[in-house]
Amino acid sequence: MVAGYTAAQVRAAEAPHLARGEPLMLMAASGLADVVREVLAARAASTDASVLVLAGTGDNGGDAMFAAAELAVHGIRVDVVPTGARLHEAARAAAIAAGALVWETALPEDLAAAASEASVLVDGILGTGTSADPALRGSARESVAGLLPVLAERKRPVVVAVDLPSGIHPDDGSVPDRVVLRADITVTFGAAKAGLLIEPGADYVGELRVVDLGLGPELARVTPVAERS
């Protein structure tokens, strides 16, 4: 049985760990990188295997870029495409230092071409911090809309969502705009978010993986809002 918690419940559970200086973002990124490596190995990826990372402006993008750094430092080709006006600076610096290529801009046709050649597409656009209205906007929405035809092809990358598919409400599973990358695998952190277990959001999740951040004692004191066998 998988228990699902609200974004607020998970943030409250994280708070004492963050106060103690525990590197939760790096722990999350490491778990994400492990899953991407597993996908590459399962696909018998050759030396030209590549990972395309869509990185948003907040901590979700930071998780994705720290994972990009962990992959790139081991020789995996990683391209990071910003989907907003800024990036998590420490994660961006780590990705560049490790050898990832961080794009300055992304024309829709260039992004679609890169996605069609990638082995894995990492969706790190939006996380639980956008729970008030998770619909994609602006350049992020344009990027995802341009990628949907690529993902309809027979030869396409495996889509790995960071914490939740961008555009899904983390608490109730609502999908206000269907311009969403349907994940093959969703790697969520600390605990499953309730919206990942509730339709229609659950239909976009694919295989759900939970990276343990040590939040068990805190979450044991609250009641989950959703469950799935």
Which residue ranges are tagged as binding site for K(+)? 60, 123, 166
- 98-130 CB burial, b ≥16 within 10 A, e <16: bbbebbeebeeeebbebbbebbbbbbbbbbbbb
Mean per-residue pLDDT, 53-71: 96
Flag whether pLDDT at 157 surpasses 60.
Answer: yes
Flag whether pLDDT at 130 surpasses 70.
Answer: no
Residue numbers of the domain that contains 108? 2-228
Flag whether pLDDT at 129 surpasses 70.
Answer: yes
Tokens coding 129: 């911090």
Domain count, the chain: 1
Which residue ranges are tagged as binding site? 59-63, 123, 163, 166
Flag whether pLDDT at 45 surpasses 90.
Answer: no
Which residue ranges are tagged as binding site for (6S)-NADPHX? 59-63, 163
CATH number assigned to the domain comprising residue 175: 3.40.50.10260
Q: How many CB atoms lie within 10 A of CB 133?
A: 10
Q: What does the mean pLDDT of the chain come to?
A: 94
Mean per-residue pLDDT, 179-199: 98
